[in-house]
């Protein structure tokens, strides 16, 4: 695996230029293992083909592609450092672990470390978003033809514009991460309500890329909105809180206050938010069910009972019939 970093005496200056907040003498040997892990995670997201193009630009020092290279380096470096930092805060000796303390430095308070960890995670996700944004704006054929990007096109909600019509995410990364939740909701919730025939009709139009025709559009918009809420509900228990948009979880006061006089939402808060989004999605699907019921009723032909001639086969001359 080729890395986007120099592995010599110039590494410290390069790493400092990318991250900015690290020491100028940061050594490659200290972060090598985390760079390998972070690079593999980056490849898992964008695919081997796209990564190899970035490596080729890095090695060729192509001026027009340096911005894309720098964005990729930033994402990988942030991920590597945030994985390294918790262990790097401690001294690992033969006598066990101890906090670092010198004449010039003292150990940070736990709340400082927590806040830094969360900010590093958010910065990492933002850096990945910038990479994806660049690939989309650049209209990279390699990226647009990648399996993960092609898979996104088959869903009822497949762009950030679709998503943000009902809930602001402002993140291509989050849309990719929510793909399993969207797929699950389509299979478990949408298909069971629409039925195979109508579900396949919508899918055919989506894959054809011709847009949804006017008669089908109102129901399609409701399905999209429900899917957005189903997807976010799924993300509550499957994704990091730091990946979700600010405000998805409401902060609440605590006796243990930080500088924002609030604390990060706990598991109960996540569960309550998940239930709220599920309730919104289920309410919308009730409306879809009612629309389908009305469609089915309009397809029925009314028959006047008086139009029928009932012949029970009675013979008036039969002795068993009382005339």
Q: H or E segment at 161?
A: helix 160-164
pLDDT of residue 323: 47
pLDDT of residue 111: 78
| Residue 120 burial (CB count, 10 A) | 19
| Residue 227 burial (CB count, 10 A) | 26
pLDDT of residue 88: 65
| Residue 12 burial (CB count, 10 A) | 17
- pLDDT digit string (tens) for the chain, length 323 residues: 899 999 888 999 999 999 988 888 888 988 999 999 999 999 999 999 999 999 999 999 877 788 999 999 999 999 999 998 876 655 555 655 556 666 566 666 777 778 888 889 999 999 999 999 999 999 999 999 999 899 999 999 999 999 999 999 889 999 999 999 999 999 999 999 999 999 999 999 998 887 888 889 999 999 999 999 999 999 998 998 888 887 676 543 344 444 444 554 456 778 888 999 999 999 999 999 999 998 877 655 545 555 545 454 555 555 545 54
Contact yes or no for 226/184 (Cβ under 8 A)? no
DSSP 286-312: HHHHHHHHHHHHHHSPP--GGG-----
How far apart are the C-alpha atoms of 272 and 200, rounded to whole Å?
Answer: 34
Tokens of 67: 């911005």
pLDDT of residue 217: 94
The CA-based angle 59-65-67, given to 5 degrees, is 110
Tokens of 128: 């990945």
pLDDT of residue 33: 93
pLDDT of residue 292: 93
pLDDT of residue 249: 64
pLDDT of residue 129: 96
Domain ranges of the chain: 11-91+106-144, 153-298
Q: Supply the pTM of this predicted model.
A: 0.80
pLDDT of residue 98: 59
């Amino acid at each position: 695996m080729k890395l986007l970093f120099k592995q010599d005496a110039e590494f410290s200056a390069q790493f400092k230029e990318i991250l900015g907040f690290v020491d100028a003498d940061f050594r490659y040997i200290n972060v090598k293992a985390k760079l390998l892990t972070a690079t593999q995670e980056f490849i898992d997201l964008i695919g081997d083909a796209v990564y190899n193009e970035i490596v080729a630009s890095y090695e060729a020092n192509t001026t027009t592609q340096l911005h894309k290279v720098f964005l990729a380096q930033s994402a990988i470096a942030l991920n590597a450092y945030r994985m390294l930092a918790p262990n790097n805060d401690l001294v690992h000796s033969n006598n066990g672990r101890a906090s670092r303390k010198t004449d010039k430095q003292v150990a940070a308070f736990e709340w400082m470390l927590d806040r830094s960890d969360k900010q590093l995670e958010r910065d990492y996700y933002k850096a990945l978003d910038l990479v994806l944004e660049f690939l989309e704006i650049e209209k990279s054929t390699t990226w647009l033809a990648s399996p993960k990007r092609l898979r996104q096109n088959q869903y009822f909600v497949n762009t950030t514009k679709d998503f943000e019509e009902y809930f602001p995410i402002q993140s291509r990364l989050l849309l990719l991460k929510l793909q399993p939740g969207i797929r699950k909701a389509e299979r478990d919730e949408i298909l069971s309500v629409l039925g195979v025939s109508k579900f396949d009709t919508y899918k055919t139009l989506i894959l054809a890329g011709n847009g949804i025709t006017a008669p089908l559009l109102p129901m399609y918009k409701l399905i999209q909105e429900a899917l957005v809420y189903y997807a976010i509900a799924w993300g509550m228990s499957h994704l990091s809180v730091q990946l979700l948009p600010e405000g998805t979880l409401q902060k609440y006061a605590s006796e243990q206050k930080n500088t924002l006089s609030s604390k990060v939402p706990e598991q109960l808060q996540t569960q309550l938010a998940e239930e709220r989004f599920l309730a919104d999605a289920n309410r919308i699907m009730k409306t879809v069910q009612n629309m389908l019921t009305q469609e089915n009723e309009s397809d029925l032909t009314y028959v006047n009972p008086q139009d029928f001639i009932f012949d029970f086969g009675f013979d008036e001359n039969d002795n068993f019939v009382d005339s």
